[in-house]
Structure 1
Amino acid sequence: MVSEARFVVLYLFVIFTALATSFRTAIASPKGHRYNVGDDIPLFVNKVGSMYNPSETYPYYDFPFCRPDPVIEKKRTLMEVLNGDILTNSLYVLKFRENKKFERLCEKKLTKDEVAKFRDAVSNDFYLQMYYDDLPLWLGFGDTEEDEDWFHSEIPPLYYLYSHIKFDVLYNENQVIEVQAFSDLQDGVDITDDIETNVTFTYSVVWSKTEAPFVNRMGKYSVASFLLDIVKLRSFSLIYRIVIIAKLIGMLATLLLQNLRDDIIKSSMVNEEGMKEVGWKYTHGDAFSNPPYTSLLCAVLGTGTQLLTLFFFVFLLVLLGVLYPYSHGTLYSSLVVIYAFTSMVGGYTASSFHVQLAGTSLRRTILLAGVLYFVPLFAIFLVLNKVAISYRITASISFNTIVVLLLIWTLLSILMFTIGGVLGYTFKSHFRASCSTRRGPKETTTLAWYRKTLAQMFLSGVLSFCTVIMELDYIYTSLWCHNIFTESGTFFIMFILLIIYTAILSIGMTYVQLLGEDHEWCWRSVLRGGSVSIFMYGYCIDFYSRSTMSGFMQLLFFFGYNACICYALFLVLGTVGFYASLVFVRHVYHAVKNE
């Protein structure tokens, strides 16, 4: 067991070190970012999108902006493909430390249809995104001008298209530190009416010196936000909730331990007087009997452990500054890589429990663990990708990229699952039951309604949901409303508290279940632990109804990917619930055995 533990620790350390090193080098390395005065640094245009529907993004040149000849797309990395980025060359010339004032970009005569397209984008608060020296910048299309008493006014609003962009660039010696883009309504062109309109697009560049170091240039994106974020108020409220949850956990643990201690004392008196065993002691010969659908249970535990390991890796990378919350592409690609490598953890856990629970087919268990989460995730991804292709948005992924993702899963993930399964079988250990197990388990007595599975799932789900409900709005606005995630440390603490709270609730519910002389706790603990994800998905419906998102495409993306997230959370917290109940059952019957 010692050599097994050393192997697992070394394996996790190697993965984390490799990922941390690679992502840190990719994101924050100063190599290739040093320039001389007058050096041409290309500005790449990326995509345009709606502030209301975050999944609705289109290639930049789908709109009639000034186009170079030829239009050349930058070769995309896996990170950029997963994020829907299409970096393309542009006519903007921003040479290092060279100021420009009202430089002419091009002159276009917009047709009626093009004017209508721009006006529709302005009315829906479309933005455009660019990259300069690997730094992202965002800018609105235009603005509207309305009558001050617009609610009672019959005069329609005026729509203006920005024709001038001002770039403010900060540099430190020979490196670019920060870039921002601004436009003003006074430089706008009226596009209210469907008439042909001449537009002269111009831009200005202003370079300013700063003392900020290169290594900190991405820091602004970890604290910036499109939405108002009152950090001090949030921090105070979060600390208050953390204290309340911690006290609640302490109260539940104290109450449970006190009742358990009293039960053990009573059971000792029963043995001395020769009376019949009742309550949870009555099931001591059945509590460790093999559960039904053993292979599926082992697969759930393996996949849940793998995803829990993945969550902790991602949290550590974010907390250490290796991953930046604003960079969804980096996050997506890192999830693909970490998922593949942590498959060994899933295979090892599934195989280990399979051997302990005397399953019938190890190969089937490992196969189930490999497909239990990936296949539903990939199926939803294929459906949404088909929708994205039909809508011609940048979130669509080509067939070649899909093949690459399948190869990563087939060659790397399955290989890791197999290696983990072999190791789990090699280092096998017998199931450590605290007391002897009957060959034929007793039949479960008729249970009261509050002891049944659905009632306990509902109660566990509601109580766990109350610990995270205050954070869900912030999390969903970060995922779907252009609000940049800035409080990863606080979220990590809340996640740990949710795990602890789930474990305590699972122990309490298992105790109540055993009191009712019901020994079938294995599957029940998984369902109780993961039930909070059902309530979280219900909260998705409420959030969508309150948001500004609209359209069939955005609806599918929102509920499809949230289903994947909630399913992953179900597996993780279900696994936590099982582990907690297993430790409790072993401990309580071991204590009785010692008596």
Structure 2
Amino acid sequence: MSDSPITLLVVGVLIACCLTHVRSDSSDHRFKVGDPVPLYANKVGPFHNPSETYRYFDLPFCSPDAIIKEKREALGEVLNGDRLVSAPYKLNFRDEKDSALACRKKLSEQDVAQFRSAVEKDFYFQMYYDDLPIWGFIGKVDKEGKTHPSEYKYFLYKHIQFDILYNKDRVIEISARMDPHSLVDLTEDKEVDVEFMYSVKWKETDTPFEKRMEKYSLSSSLPHHLEIHWFSIINSCVTVLLLTGFLATILMRVLKNDFVKYAQDEEAADDQEETGWKYIHGDVFRFPKYKSLFAAALGSGSQLFTLTVFIFMLALVGVFYPYNRGALFTALVVIYALTSGIAGYTAASFYCQLEGTNWVRNLLLTGCLFCGPLFLTFCFLNTVAIAYNATAALPFGTIVVIVLIWTLVTSPLLVLGGIAGKNSKAEFQAPCRTTKYPREIPPLPWYRSAIPQMAMAGFLPFSAIYIELYYIFASVWGHRIYTIYSILFIVFIILLIVTAFITVALTYFQLAAEDHEWWWRSFLCGGSTGVFIYAYCLYYYYARSDMSGFMQTSFFFGYMACVCYGFFLMLGTVGFRASLLFVRHIYKSIKLKETPEETSKLETFIDVLNKACETELIYSTEDHCKELEKYNYIQRRALIEFKQLIKETNAAYGSATQYKRCNLKETPKITNVSESSSVICCFFYLHLPTLKKQKR
């Protein structure tokens, strides 16, 4: 996969900047006794619907001031749906409080109904205290002794207990407990007076500030979960070893037999029809249909592969520590923009290697191939979020920033990469000369068609990652914390290896069946794992999660469709690149009989023969012409057909002595293209008048 050095340098600078930003942002939080420590209320929402979140004060909590102060947020925080505002609680450093009054509020019937609906849907709240996350439920439903939902009682928590750990002048940990005895009954639609209270307790700890986030990291790697992760790794490694060993053994044996077979004396096989992957060497490097789309897919896949590698690099060095708000989204947007030059260079250079001419259109297609569906999906889902008044709806200013990034960074780098790729003037390295006429593909059984092959190619890589997929989904679409990036990186490497091996194996069997249209097939087979991941999305949503509602459903399936589409492009590129290396290798390893000069000479003769057949100058041999056209005239099977044609027509119209007029003493034994060309030219020169006469 081609990389632009300038783009790689810029991305390297970006990584360094990200690391510096992260380290400085998590330090220097020092306070004196009584100093105010920033506490921000973030959002509320149904616990089982992580995408359906609302601003904290969308519920009728009492606000600390007449005007709610909003914290200025970074791009990634906004994309993450964070909307930080000042909270109604004052938690000064080492200042303990017991049942302090936050505010008094008279809840109207509408407010009570709104709170009751939130409690019924298991709404939770999220806050940040000195960048440490806090969660809690806003109420509870009493179902004890009740058999019908109409008998349930709904209560609102009005007292929060904050427990804070500190080390000298720094905050280390905070947790929130809801007082189960301090409740407000919301069962009936009537006005209620509520006093929101809170208590604060401080306790010293020896935990250093640098390790205060380990609490959240360790929560994702408990012994039970860690054993499952390692079981997933072992399962995947066994799959890789078995698959690799099986494919390597089969391919080495088959290829060895093929090489021995093709190295045998050609003269002994004159009367046999040659079959197998060597026979289609004149077609195997014939450029695919829709070459512009194919090159654009490779360019987009290469960019997404590079993006994934850089994201793993940032994760492994500790950038994405738990609750580093929006860091992942910021990295995705910025790195994707900076790596667009890779997409442009790869697509344009490969498109020019395929002898494409409209490279500008190819660049436009490359730029829109992934971003186009993503943009349309975003427009629909953002409209849904606006209708729900959810925090997932991006503000207009954020949309403008993203458009500017696309206009001022992504597009120029895409064009520059495309120009560099176009000017690279690299030629496609094919070890075999491609013939002028495409060979007809023989009929194949149904299980060798594209869909069954894709199903086989996608199932094995998916089986190596499906266990880890559950934890990723539970983190992205739930409230689990995923921090074991080293294991995830190993799984990613396994996914690439299995995808490459299975695609290479299927490509070989396709060529062995004399099907030379392997370009798109290898890409589709490699990318088919994305289809299996999307199928797993259906299973996870309906069988493993409690998500519900139109907004959450549309967000889950909409954005997962984009993610799976990205996997399709990335793994399709991996599959094709692996197959291309394999095909080049095996065709470099065989000795081809025909020279380019002989092939060109015979192709000139074929043009004349085709013209004669099309104008119906030849009658009795017209069927033979069609048969010859089927086999492309050039390979050994074409020589056999030529020889049979001479034998049959000679028996009907003349004897071997007629060949003396062409300086041939007897019926020739065809052994190479040059001789067959001269014999057939001589034959048609002798018998063309008779054939014309019979036609009349």
Task: Output the TM-score relative to the length of structure 1.
Answer: 0.93
How far apart in 1 are the matches of 2:207 and 2:339?
Answer: 37
How far apart in 1 are the matches of 2:523 and 2:417?
Answer: 22
Cα deviation code 1:71-91 (max 9, x no counterpart): 121222211211111111123
Residue number in structure 1 paired with 2:387: 390
How far apart in 1 are the matches of 2:423 and 2:133?
Answer: 49
Q: Are 2:41 and 1:25 aligned?
A: no
Cα deviation code 1:137-186 (max 9, x no counterpart): 11111223332x55x68993332211111222222222222222121212
Correspondent of 2:563 among 552, 562, 565: 565
How far apart in 1 are the matches of 2:148 and 2:423?
Answer: 78
How far apart in 1 are the matches of 2:74 and 2:25?
Answer: 17
- Do 1:161 and 1:189's aligned partners in 2 also have CA atoms closer than 8 Å? yes
Residue number in structure 2 paired with 1:80: 77
Correspondent of 2:520 among 523, 547, 554: 523
Q: Are 2:61 and 1:52 aligned?
A: no
- Do 1:326 and 1:484's aligned partners in 2 also have CA atoms closer than 8 Å? no
Residue number in structure 2 paired with 1:186: 181
Cα distance, 1:428–1:174 mapped onto 2, change above 3 Å: farther
Cα distance, 1:495–1:415 mapped onto 2, change above 3 Å: same
Residue number in structure 2 paired with 1:332: 329
**Pairwise CA distance, 1:327:** 4.6
How far apart in 2 are the matches of 1:499 and 1:409?
Answer: 29
Cα deviation code 1:533-587 (max 9, x no counterpart): 1122122122222221111111111110011001000001110110011001000
Cα deviation code 1:1-60 (max 9, x no counterpart): 9xx97x63x742541342243255236535552222221122111110111111111111
Residue number in structure 2 paired with 1:62: 58
SS at match of 2:203: strand
Aligned AA for 1:179? I
SS at match of 1:411: helix
- Do 1:465 and 1:532's aligned partners in 2 also have CA atoms closer than 8 Å? yes
Residue range with higher mean Cα deviation, 404-413 or 247-256: 247-256
Residue number in structure 1 paired with 2:237: 243
SS at match of 2:277: helix
SS at match of 1:205: strand
Which aligned pairs between 1:324-473 and structure 2 lie closer than 5 A?
324=321, 326-327=323-324, 329-473=326-470
Aligned AA for 2:434? T
SS at match of 1:279: coil
Unaligned ranges ≥5, structure 1: none
Cα deviation code 1:347-373 (max 9, x no counterpart): 111122112211121111121111110
Residue range with higher mean Cα deviation, 212-221 or 343-352: 212-221
Q: Are 2:27 and 1:37 aligned?
A: no
Residue number in structure 2 paired with 1:215: 210
**Pairwise CA distance, 1:286:** 1.1
Q: Of the two, which has the highest radius of gyration?
A: 2
SS at match of 2:86: coil
Cα distance, 1:259–1:49 mapped onto 2, change above 3 Å: same
**Pairwise CA distance, 1:417:** 0.9
Correspondent of 1:265 among 231, 238, 260: 260
Residue range with higher mean Cα deviation, 560-569 or 108-117: 108-117
How far apart in 2 are the matches of 1:228 and 1:154?
Answer: 37
SS at match of 1:396: coil
How far apart in 1 are the matches of 2:212 and 2:194?
Answer: 35
Aligned AA for 1:233? E
- Do 1:163 and 1:201's aligned partners in 2 also have CA atoms closer than 8 Å? yes
Residue range with higher mean Cα deviation, 156-165 or 506-515: 156-165
Cα distance, 1:437–1:498 mapped onto 2, change above 3 Å: same
Cα deviation code 1:276-310 (max 9, x no counterpart): 53110011111111111111111000000000111
Residue number in structure 1 paired with 2:507: 510
Residue number in structure 2 paired with 1:173: 168
**Pairwise CA distance, 1:261:** 1.7
How far apart in 1 are the matches of 2:510 and 2:209?
Answer: 58
Cα distance, 1:183–1:412 mapped onto 2, change above 3 Å: same
Aligned AA for 1:289? R
SS at match of 1:186: coil
Which aligned pairs between 1:193-232 and structure 2 lie closer than 5 A?
193-224=188-219, 230-232=224-226
Cα distance, 1:330–1:232 mapped onto 2, change above 3 Å: closer
Cα distance, 1:66–1:522 mapped onto 2, change above 3 Å: same
How far apart in 2 are the matches of 1:14 and 1:370?
Answer: 20
**Pairwise CA distance, 1:340:** 0.2
Aligned AA for 2:108? T
Residue number in structure 1 paired with 2:649: none
SS at match of 1:484: coil
Aligned AA for 1:553? M
Identical counterparts, % of pairs: 47
How far apart in 1 are the matches of 2:155 and 2:224?
Answer: 32
Aligned AA for 2:587? Y
- Do 2:347 and 2:418's aligned partners in 1 also have CA atoms closer than 8 Å? yes
Residue number in structure 2 paired with 1:590: 588
Residue number in structure 1 paired with 2:249: 254
Aligned AA for 2:151? P
Cα distance, 1:467–1:242 mapped onto 2, change above 3 Å: closer
How far apart in 1 are the matches of 2:481 and 2:23?
Answer: 18
Which aligned pairs between 1:115-154 and structure 2 lie closer than 5 A?
115-147=112-144
Cα deviation code 1:303-355 (max 9, x no counterpart): 00000111111111112111235556221121000100111111111122112
How far apart in 1 are the matches of 2:38 and 2:478?
Answer: 29
Cα deviation code 1:391-433 (max 9, x no counterpart): 1011001222212111111210111111212222333321111
SS at match of 1:117: helix
SS at match of 1:181: strand
- Do 1:142 and 1:185's aligned partners in 2 also have CA atoms closer than 8 Å? no
Aligned AA for 1:167? F
**Pairwise CA distance, 1:243:** 3.0
Q: Are 2:297 and 1:303 aligned?
A: no
SS at match of 2:91: strand
Aligned AA for 1:211? D
**Pairwise CA distance, 1:116:** 2.2
